[in-house]
Amino acid sequence: MSAPLWPAPTATEPVRATVALPGSKSVTNRALLLAALAEGPGTVRRALRSRDADLMVDALRALGATMIPSDESASAVDWAITPGPVTGGARIDVGLAGTVMRFVPSMAALAADEVFFDGDPHARKRPMGPILHALRALGAEVSGDALPFTIKGPLTGGEVRLDASGSSQFLSGLLLTAARFAKGVTVRHDGPPIPSQPHIRMTVQMLREFGVVVDDSEPDVWRVEPGPIGARDFTVEPDLSNAAPFLCAAMVTGGTVTVPGWPAHTTQPGDQLRTLLADMGASVEHTPDGLAVTGTGRIAGIEADLRDVAELTPTIAALATLADSPSRIGGVAHIRGHETDRLAALVAEINGLGGDANETEDGLEIRPRPLSGGVFHSYADHRMATAGAVIGLAVPGVEVEDIATTGKTLPEFASMWADMLRGAR
Ligand SMILES: O=C(O)C1=C[C@@H](OP(=O)(O)O)[C@@H](O)[C@H](O)C1
Ligand SMILES: C=C(OP(=O)(O)O)C(=O)O
């Protein structure tokens, strides 16, 4: 049975709206895991409520943590978390969440009993080899090189080489639990450049905020000292990557979208939207109400290496189809291993609406031309779905397949989009 189609609203006037984003997926899932491994009870405030976050909560509960929600609303929650001894014998559903499939195995490797991991059909295709090899080298018993697999610990830790060129999450996944390994860990990256470096800085910074000693002074080497993870009261920042489609709406319609609570300093890669969207023609300013992006009537094509901000690619590609000059996006070969093969999916869907895009070895080329309506398939990928919504603002008749897939990181997307178009403040 095919998924329902969502008629993407076409904007009839410039949007003028304030859009408050719920918590960052990446920060939420790191904070929940660190709190579950801490030396005492802690709190994670303004945590995202979404499929990926719920899968993380279920996984941590299955491994022995007590997680109690308070002040729950549809999209945000404060969690009171009491760590417990890490127990095995569990079955973990990772869904399609990279943060669950790459972060939780190291924690499971603390348990003496076997833990079984599986996920959505496409999750079985996402790369897992480097982190599973590393856990094996550090002393865990691991079956298989991809989902489904089992892990049995406890591992001891120590020194290991790992190729994180396929995903920064392999490295983050090892580092997040490493303070609890008997010997800590020294990881040396061995391979082509690592993508999504801001996410590694996010891991290191959050480890330090939770009291863990991390040495990242030598390029491509990370040392985590063994020791306790501190119990903290931690507040999650808004999700800046999920701000992307809304900020793009300001550009596409020549209006203004303001995102309150934009952090002054952050490791989130979405912060780079400020320069990326300015390069594509937006006016971007910090106002007392938040970060305001205003469309100037022009969308310029872009030549950009998006390796560091790979998860923004679908949204930037959507904007590029509506630009007045061609775009060339590079540095993102590894997003073929994201929720779907994003390079293939973007080319298929853009060209399916009459566009002109092609894959390169490590990215995309997009030559704007008039698009027509049609079905924009989402491939169970939240960022494909929101890319279709951006194009639909300017192209009548775009129907996004399975808009509910945005529930991976932003369950309220469709109603927030409607509110934005209504001019909500
Ligand atoms: O650590 C994280 O929270 C993430 C790291 C990145 O993964 P890759 O390094 O695989 O791009 C990013 O794309 C993903 O959305 C979230
Ligand atoms: C790549 C992404 O997700 P994941 O955490 O599943 O890797 C993403 O959100 O764009």
pLDDT digits (tens, 9 = 90+) for 28-67: 999 999 999 999 999 999 999 999 999 999 999 999 999 9
User: Ligand 1 within 6 A of 43 CB?
Assistant: no
- 33 and 11 within one domain: no
- Percent of the chain having pLDDT more than 70? 99
CA 98 – ligand 1 centroid, Å: 7
| Cis-peptide into 288, omega within 30 deg | no
Nearest CA to ligand 1 atom 3: 26
Q: Identify the pLDDT of residue 6.
A: 98
- 175 and 283 within one domain: no
- 166 and 264 within one domain: no
pLDDT band at 424 (very low <50, low <70, confident <90, very high): confident
CA-CA distances (angstroms) from residue 332 to 85, 180, 341? 39, 33, 11
Range of the domain at 258: 5-21+240-422
- What is the CATH classification number for the domain harbouring 322? 3.65.10.10
Residue 231 lies in a domain: no
- 406 and 262 within one domain: yes
- 211 and 357 within one domain: no
pLDDT band at 210 (very low <50, low <70, confident <90, very high): very high
Q: Which residues are catalytic?
A: 311
C-alpha dihedral over 47, 52, 54, 55, to 10 degrees? -140
Which ligand has an atom closest to residue 165 CA? 1
1 pLDDT more than 60: no
- 65 and 29 within one domain: yes
- 196 and 304 within one domain: no
Residue range 77-90: average pLDDT?
96
- 351 and 335 within one domain: yes
Number of independent structural domains in the chain? 2
- 61 and 11 within one domain: no
Residue range 385-413: average pLDDT?
98
User: Ligand 1 within 6 A of 99 CB?
Assistant: yes
What is the per-residue pLDDT across 318-374, written as a single tens digit (0 to 9) for each? 999 999 999 999 999 999 999 999 999 999 999 999 999 999 999 999 999 999 999
> In the chain, what is the greatest distance between 2 CA atoms, to the nearest angstrom?
61
Residue at which a domain ends, from 200, 224, 248 = 224
Nearest CA to ligand 2 atom 1: 338
CA-CA distances (angstroms) from residue 89 to 59, 114, 155, 174? 12, 5, 16, 21
Residue 318 lies in a domain: yes
Residue 393 lies in a domain: yes
Residue 145 lies in a domain: yes
- 251 and 200 within one domain: no
Q: Identify the pLDDT of residue 74.
A: 62
Residue 384 lies in a domain: yes
- 407 and 310 within one domain: yes
- Is 167 assigned to a binding site? yes
Q: Identify the pLDDT of residue 3.
A: 83
pLDDT band at 258 (very low <50, low <70, confident <90, very high): very high
* d(C-alpha 163, C-alpha 170), whole Å: 8
Residue at which a domain ends, from 169, 198, 224 = 224
Q: Identify the pLDDT of residue 64.
A: 98
Whole-prediction pTM: 0.98
- 288 and 257 within one domain: yes
75 pLDDT more than 90: no
Residue 235 lies in a domain: no
Question: Which positions ≥6 away from 365 have C-beta within 8 Å?
Answer: 326, 327, 328, 329, 357, 358
Residue 333 lies in a domain: yes
Average pLDDT of the chain, as a whole number: 97
User: Ligand 1 within 6 A of 381 CB?
Assistant: no
Residue 229 lies in a domain: no
ipTM above 0.90, yes or no: yes
Q: CB–CB of 313/306 below 8 Å?
A: yes
Helix/strand/coil (H/E/C) assignment for every residue in the chain:
CCCCEEECCCCCCCCEEECCCCECHHHHHHHHHHHHCCCCCEEEEEEECCHHHHHHHHHHHHCCCEEEEECCCCCEEEEEEECCCCCCCCEEECCCCHHHHHHHHHHHCCCCCCEEEECCHHHHHCCCHHHHHHHHHCCCEEECCCCCEEEECCCCCEEEEECCCCCHHHHHHHHHHHCCCCCCEEEEECCCCCCCHHHHHHHHHHHHHCCCCEECCCCCEEEECCCCCCCCEEECCECCCCCHHHHHHHHHHCCEEEECCCCCCCCCHHHHHHHHHHHCCCEEEEECCEEEEECCCCCCCCEEECHHHHHHHHHHHHHHHCCCCCEEEECCHHHHHCCCCHHHHHHHHHHHCCCEEEEECCEEEEECCCCCCEEECCCCCHHHHHHHHHHHHHCCCEEEECHHHHHHCCCCHHHHHHHHHHCCC
- Closest-lying ligand 1 atom to the alpha carbon of residue 172: 1
User: Ligand 2 within 6 A of 98 CB?
Assistant: yes
- Is 196 assigned to a binding site? yes
Residue at which a domain ends, from 224, 254, 272 = 224
73 pLDDT more than 80: no
CA 236 – ligand 1 centroid, Å: 17
